[in-house]
Structure 1
Amino acid sequence: MLVLLGLGIPVAYSVGTVAIVGIFYAIGPTFLLSTIQSLPYAFASDYNFVVVPLFVLMGTLASRAGIITDLYKAAFQLTSGIRGSLMMATVMAQAMFAAISGSTTVAASIFTRMALPEMIRYGYNPGVSAGCVAAAGTLAGLIPPSIAMVLFAVLTGEPIGKLLIAGILPGVMTAVGYIVGIRIMLIYRPEWAPMISERFSLKQKLQGISKAWAVFLLIGLVVGGIYTGTFPPSAAGAVGATGVLLIALSTKRLPKGALWESLIESARISAVLFLIVMAGLLFSRFLLISGFIGDLKALVVTLEMSAFVFIALVVILYLILGCFVDSVSLMIITLPFLYPISTSLGINGIWFGVLIIKLIEIAAITPPVGLNLFAVLSSGKGLVNSRQLFAGVMPFLVMEAVLLALLMGFPAIATILPELMD
């Protein structure tokens, strides 16, 4: 599978090919044909997974309706007068945008076009500025609605609603950690972010926040609805997407053709994700029926491996593979055998899910194959080159190391809110 991926063959085809050949040799053609017929249909026709295209649609509509512009301006006004205010505003705005969009690459692309030119115009270091955009984009992987969380639930059977809610506190912790980290970073390297003379009064700040009312309303609808159980996660995407559409129409901010473009983009992204997940489920079935997972569990028992040692190995594995394999592929490839071992060791499935999402989001900003890095480079249109970006994202990887240690040391950060839902 790694050879096929290395040859540039798309993830779904690489994983699916290995799974199909493996099932054929392990069981035979009859079981293989039955699995190919039933498994993809059972997944694609499951109503619970309609949440994926609707979460994507919500984010694409919000970006085209100009809702994100108001959010970024409000964040900039709030942080004015502080060194690195534009970086902090980018983190704050991306954290809020993460609550109405589940895609990290979409977030990184949108804010590259919006925030990066502004930071460079004010004399900010291009590489560090671009690194900030890429790193803050990963917040969409933790803060609900998160597509990565939904994919983890699909692959493991963990409850989608609890997983989504579990990402709130780690996501907020990450955003706050970035802001504090930026402040500390600029104490030692003030030349990376010159002071901006522009100031705003309290009245102007309050007016800016009021203009971002649509985002707060959407967050209340989606996150509040899931947490209180007003509607299931499968309906949260529909509520959010409808909310964005109604807000855009009522404020007359939806450009001509934007709805159709958003629908097409959502369908395209969802189709790719669904194909990858179907291949991942086939691969998981192959590992199970071939006896690989059972043998691996037996090996763990024989070695008397503790949960701590297992988690440490998972972290090392993801940090190494994250340099060479994109985040979605990493999760699809590894979860079929890592998750069963984690359950056999008594590790909380919700906390393990948040940890895995955290690790794949770190992988998304790890050179040279981080997805968010490519999103920033492609959307930057020459404002920053790869060498600058790879160097500029390093301070944020240091911040992520500290945040990862906190998450591992205090599991309640991820589990306290889901437990309150019971």
Structure 2
Amino acid sequence: MTEPIFLGIAGIVSVLAIGAAGIPVAYALMTVGIVGMWYVGGVSFLGTTIKMLPYAVMSNYSFAVIPMFLLMGALASTADITTELYSFANRLLARVRGGLLMATVVASAIFAAISGSTIVNASVFTRIALPEMKKFGYDLGISAGCIAAAGTFAALIPPSISLVIVGLLTEASIGALLIAGIVPGILTAVMYILGIAVFVRLKPSLVPSGVPDIPQVSMFKAMLSIGPALLLMFIVLGGIYTGVMFPSSAGAVGAAGALLIAVARRKMNFEKLWMVVRSSAGSTATLFFIVIGGLFFSRFLTFGGFIHEITGLVSTWQLSQTQFLIALSLLYLLLGMFLDTLSILLVTIPFLFPIALSLGINEIWFGILVVKLIEIAAITPPVGLNLFAVMGASEKRISSKVIMTGVIPFIIIELMTLGLIIYFPAIATWLPSEMMK
């Protein structure tokens, strides 16, 4: 084993060990990155990097998309958009067997086009949908599992913070990545609905046999109630797709639109606005700190020669694209059992992305596959963050055993969807290719 490969593996293992000890991932990445850069480049190289890298990140206009998307999602939630989305989907699907589960999927998918956070999605719909499903006699495990799994749509459907971070780490077009997430995101939602229809027939005891008594409202009125949400979604996604707005600009316009909706509905005052802005700023600062730590670590792997050596080594194995993607999937599924999704991205992309490029894998396709895999990781026991988000939002009325059992059918559906995206790359690449014409 050459020294660069040994150093790289030692660095990766060190980050994982420090993270497993309960130390925040930002500190783990930054500590290992700084020590590694000092070892491979000396004090002068380390000093220059410490001075310039954080400033380069903070002054990069592309990063403005993160606080804008977070702010838009928080404002949209304050404006009660989520409640209306769920009510609309409920009226649409309540008379179908397993309809409340399907309504959660539909509402989560639409809200994902406004909020870029999987944890926010899962937490919000736990408070809205879980009491309804419990009231009508739905199995608690499958209900909680559905909410946790549907929350992951925000990782794929734009505006997705995960796709933005992948774009920043790989230097791929953030706009193209965001648009590329639309079709796979919709496909995942459709697969969930079909899957729910199948397993409620295979195991009828999961859902009540009767039809919930839902007040009859005309479809026109129901559509009218979600009009602001749809308008916000089309402005943001349409602006990015047509090239009228950069992702950062679209995020700012979306946040302004969500604020106007909240004000018009009298859901906003100065106190609430301050809380929303403060919360979004705190989340942004945390993300930036983690990303800076990840870039320190990436710089160590690059200048230490690990990425060059590991790319050359893998090329001698003569792996096919399919073999590499299967290995990638197994690696991410394994890591997803023990690490949070952002840690997985920051630790693995610096060395996996060059290998993918050397095998001729399209950067947009790679980005979507990686985000799909961390989407699965977010619901994979024992460390799936969305599982804990649902348990927390339910005020501990759901045990870990119940939700981990209930989410299994949705993990199976996710793996089937992943297989389709691997077998048919156009699912991820077609829409951004049309956008660039």
**Normalised by the shorter chain, which TM-score bucket?**
over 0.9
TM-superposed deviation, 1:120: 0.7
- Other-structure match for 2:243: 229
TM-superposed deviation, 1:64: 1.1
Q: Distance in 2 between matches of 1:73 and 1:199?
A: 10
- Other-structure match for 1:301: 315
Q: Is the 8 A contact 2:78 2:262 kept in 1?
A: no
Aligned amino acid, residue 42 of structure 1: A
- Other-structure match for 1:89: 103
Aligned amino acid, residue 198 of structure 1: D
Aligned amino acid, residue 211 of structure 2: I
Range with bigger deviation, 128-137 or 252-261 = 252-261
Q: Distance in 1 between matches of 2:415 and 2:96?
A: 25
The count of residues paired between Structure 1 and Structure 2 equals: 421
Give deviations 1:17-59, integer Å, cap 9, x for gaps.
1110000010101100100110111011111111101100111
- Other-structure match for 1:207: 221
- In structure 2, the gaps of 5 or more residues are 1-14
The SS at the match of 1:27 is helix
Aligned amino acid, residue 29 of structure 2: V
Give deviations 1:178-216, integer Å, cap 9, x for gaps.
011001010011111113332555x52331121111111
TM-superposed deviation, 1:73: 0.3
Range with bigger deviation, 362-371 or 44-53 = 44-53
Q: Distance in 2 between matches of 1:368 and 1:124?
A: 24
Q: Distance in 1 between matches of 2:42 and 2:372?
A: 38
Any residues of structure 2 matched to 1:155-170 within 5 Å, and which? 155-170=169-184
- Other-structure match for 1:49: 63
Q: Distance in 1 between matches of 2:270 and 2:305?
A: 55
Any residues of structure 2 matched to 1:43-192 within 5 Å, and which? 43-192=57-206
Aligned amino acid, residue 166 of structure 1: A
- Other-structure match for 1:358: 372
Which of 179, 199, 213 is 1:198 aligned to? 213
Q: Is the 8 A contact 1:326 1:364 kept in 2?
A: yes
Aligned amino acid, residue 369 of structure 1: V
Any residues of structure 2 matched to 1:182-331 within 5 Å, and which? 182-194=196-208, 195-199=210-214, 201=216, 204-254=218-268, 257-331=271-345
TM-superposed deviation, 1:253: 2.5
TM-superposed deviation, 1:370: 0.4
Q: Distance in 2 between matches of 1:102 and 1:75?
A: 20
Q: Distance in 2 between matches of 1:104 and 1:332?
A: 18
TM-superposed deviation, 1:254: 2.2
What's the C-alpha RMSD, in Å, of the aligned pairs?
1.0
- Other-structure match for 2:7: none
Q: Distance in 1 between matches of 2:182 and 2:386?
A: 21
TM-superposed deviation, 1:259: 1.1
Give deviations 1:372-391, integer Å, cap 9, x for gaps.
01100111113211110000
Q: Distance in 1 between matches of 2:322 and 2:386?
A: 30
The SS at the match of 1:144 is coil
TM-superposed deviation, 1:398: 0.8
Q: Distance in 2 between matches of 1:119 and 1:301?
A: 51
Q: Distance in 1 between matches of 2:269 and 2:142?
A: 33
- Other-structure match for 1:34: 48
- Other-structure match for 1:382: 396
Q: Is the 8 A contact 2:136 2:212 kept in 1?
A: no
Which of 2, 16, 19 is 1:5 aligned to? 19
TM-superposed deviation, 1:256: 5.8
Q: Distance in 1 between matches of 2:291 and 2:54?
A: 9
- Other-structure match for 1:24: 38
TM-superposed deviation, 1:76: 0.2
Give deviations 1:325-374, integer Å, cap 9, x for gaps.
11111111100100011111110000000000000010000000001011
Which of 335, 343, 346 is 1:332 aligned to? 346
Aligned amino acid, residue 134 of structure 1: A
Q: Is the 8 A contact 1:351 1:411 kept in 2?
A: yes
Q: Distance in 1 between matches of 2:214 and 2:263?
A: 33
- In structure 1, the gaps of 5 or more residues are none
The SS at the match of 1:257 is helix
Which of 403, 413, 421 is 1:399 aligned to? 413
Q: Is the 8 A contact 1:126 1:383 kept in 2?
A: no
Aligned amino acid, residue 113 of structure 1: R
Q: Distance in 1 between matches of 2:341 and 2:384?
A: 8
The SS at the match of 2:266 is coil
Q: Is the 8 A contact 1:365 1:371 kept in 2?
A: yes
Q: Is the 8 A contact 1:80 1:200 kept in 2?
A: no
Give deviations 1:292-334, integer Å, cap 9, x for gaps.
0111011012212222211111001001111111111111110
Q: Normalising by the residue count of structure 1, what TM-score does the alignment of the two structures yield?
A: 0.98
Q: Normalising by the residue count of structure 2, what TM-score does the alignment of the two structures yield?
A: 0.95
The SS at the match of 2:218 is helix
Q: Distance in 2 between matches of 1:309 and 1:26?
A: 33
Q: Distance in 1 between matches of 2:123 and 2:93?
A: 22
Q: Distance in 2 between matches of 1:113 and 1:319?
A: 28
Q: Is the 8 A contact 1:117 1:383 kept in 2?
A: no
Aligned amino acid, residue 324 of structure 1: F
